[in-house]
Amino acid sequence: MNFRGLLQDLEATALATAIRESGWLFPILETIHVLALTLVVGTIALVDLRLIGFVGRAHPVTRLTTQLLPWTWAAFAFAVASGLLLFASSAETYFDNLAFQLKLGALALAGLNMAVFHRLAYADVHSWDTAHPSPRAARCAGLLSLVFWVAVVVLGRWIGFTLR
Amino acid sequence: MLKSLSDWLSETPASLVLQTEFWIVPTLQSVHILAIAMLFGALGWFGLHLIRDGTASPDIVRTARPMCRWAGAALLVSGTLMVLAEPDRTLPNVLFQVKMGLLVLLIMTAAATFRLAAAGDHGTSAPRARLRGLGALALALLVLIIIAGRWIAYVE
């Protein structure tokens, strides 16, 4: 079976049909998605702005990440779950939408940037935890993270205006 | 009255410009959501400290308060332009009116919370309890505002 066939099967499931045809399931899922995504972006932006040196210079980076990242990951889990259910409701339409494809690309880049940051700059964070400015690699990672997450939000908003 | 106000607003030159350019509304909505995210991050961080400890360090207040102010300013500008771009869809909508009411409550609650948290001595149990309550209330109001904002599109 080809990939498009899988998307059609996904759309035909009872759950996807219920989301598509119900008057309230889609808005509820969308509300959860927006709440979760704004919490993800808000908490990540706080860490990014600290890395860049815009805010919170008095806070050690590790204290911020320890306090915020559990909330980020919990919210991310809700965003992914609600996003998958929204996608299932019209899988083929979303899959063909350019804004949706670019949003997934921006999400992948944000994830890659975070993985590289944790592997490289964050590995010796205790040597620059309270330093100002943060090392160049950390500032770059913070800036790139902001750019990618802004792109995720903007492209996500454009999906609703470009669906056919 | 709100209906006639929205009818008048939708005929103003500024509203007509915002209505004719396809990219303006999605851009304004994107800015609005990004500002909400900024507010959620800063107020959430501050509020969770208050809920957990009944207090927040001066460093946290000094970081979170300007972020909330900047986010609030961005929300005010983008929100006003969004109303101007789609007055018929917003002003007469009951959830928009609920959202505006909650927004006034949030501004008052957040201002009182920051003022009390920055005031200094919170060693006694009363201010700690009050700060816990105010922090929880501010976060609850923000979540309700986000929910009301999303449902404007689905309610007449």
Asked if A67 lies within 8 A of B62 by C-beta distance, the reply is no
Asked if B154 lies within 8 A of A27 by C-beta distance, the reply is yes
Residues A75-84, mean pLDDT to the nearest whole number: 98
Asked if B41 lies within 8 A of A43 by C-beta distance, the reply is yes
Evaluate if residue A88 carries a pLDDT over 60. Answer: yes
User: Per-residue pLDDT tens for A55-68?
Assistant: 888 899 999 999 99
Among B63, B150, B153, select the one facing A56 at the smallest CB separation: B63
Chain A residues whose CB is inside 8 A of the B150 CB are: 27, 30-31, 34
- Quote the pLDDT of residue B122: 53
| Rounded Cα gap, residues A79 and B140, in angstroms | 19
pLDDT: is B121 or B47 the higher one? B47
Evaluate if residue A14 carries a pLDDT over 70. Answer: yes
User: Per-residue pLDDT tens for B120-148?
Assistant: 655 555 588 999 999 999 999 999 999 99
Residue of A nearest to B36 (CA): A38
Residue of A nearest to B153 (CA): A27
| Rounded Cα gap, residues B125 and B131, in angstroms | 10
- Quote the pLDDT of residue B128: 87
- Quote the pLDDT of residue B57: 87
Asked if A43 lies within 8 A of B146 by C-beta distance, the reply is no
Evaluate if residue B26 carries a pLDDT over 90. Answer: yes
- Quote the pLDDT of residue A35: 98
Mean model confidence pLDDT for chain B:
92
- Quote the pLDDT of residue B125: 57
- Quote the pLDDT of residue B121: 55
User: Per-residue pLDDT tens for B104-126?
Assistant: 999 999 999 999 998 865 555 55
Among A37, A59, A158, select the one facing B63 at the smallest CB separation: A59
Chain A residues whose CB is inside 8 A of the B67 CB are: 46, 49, 55
Evaluate if residue A164 carries a pLDDT over 80. Answer: no
Residues A142-162, mean pLDDT to the nearest whole number: 97
User: How many residue contacts between A and B have a Cβ separation below 8 Å?
Assistant: 84
Write the ipTM.
Answer: 0.93
Chain A residues whose CB is inside 8 A of the B25 CB are: 161
Chain B closest-CA separation from residue A116 CA (Å): 23
Among A49, A55, A153, select the one facing B30 at the smallest CB separation: A153
Of residues B74, B50, B77, the one with CA closest to residue B64: B50
Chain B closest-CA separation from residue A43 CA (Å): 5
Residue of A nearest to B149 (CA): A31
Mean model confidence pLDDT for chain A:
95
Residues B88-93, mean pLDDT to the nearest whole number: 92
Among B26, B37, B63, select the one facing A45 at the smallest CB separation: B37
Side-chain half-sphere CA neighbours of A117 within 13 A: 22
Of residues B73, B52, B68, the one with CA closest to residue B115: B68
Task: Name the 3-class secondary structure at B47.
Answer: helix
Chain A closest-CA separation from residue B112 CA (Å): 22
Chain A closest-CA separation from residue B81 CA (Å): 17
Asked if B34 lies within 8 A of A71 by C-beta distance, the reply is no
Q: Residues B114-122: contacts with CB within 8 Å, 24+ apart? A: B114/B46, B114/B61, B114/B64, B114/B65, B114/B68, B117/B46, B117/B50, B117/B55, B117/B56, B117/B61, B118/B58, B118/B61, B118/B65, B122/B54, B122/B55
- Quote the pLDDT of residue B156: 76
Residues B17-43, mean pLDDT to the nearest whole number: 95
Chain A closest-CA separation from residue B36 CA (Å): 7
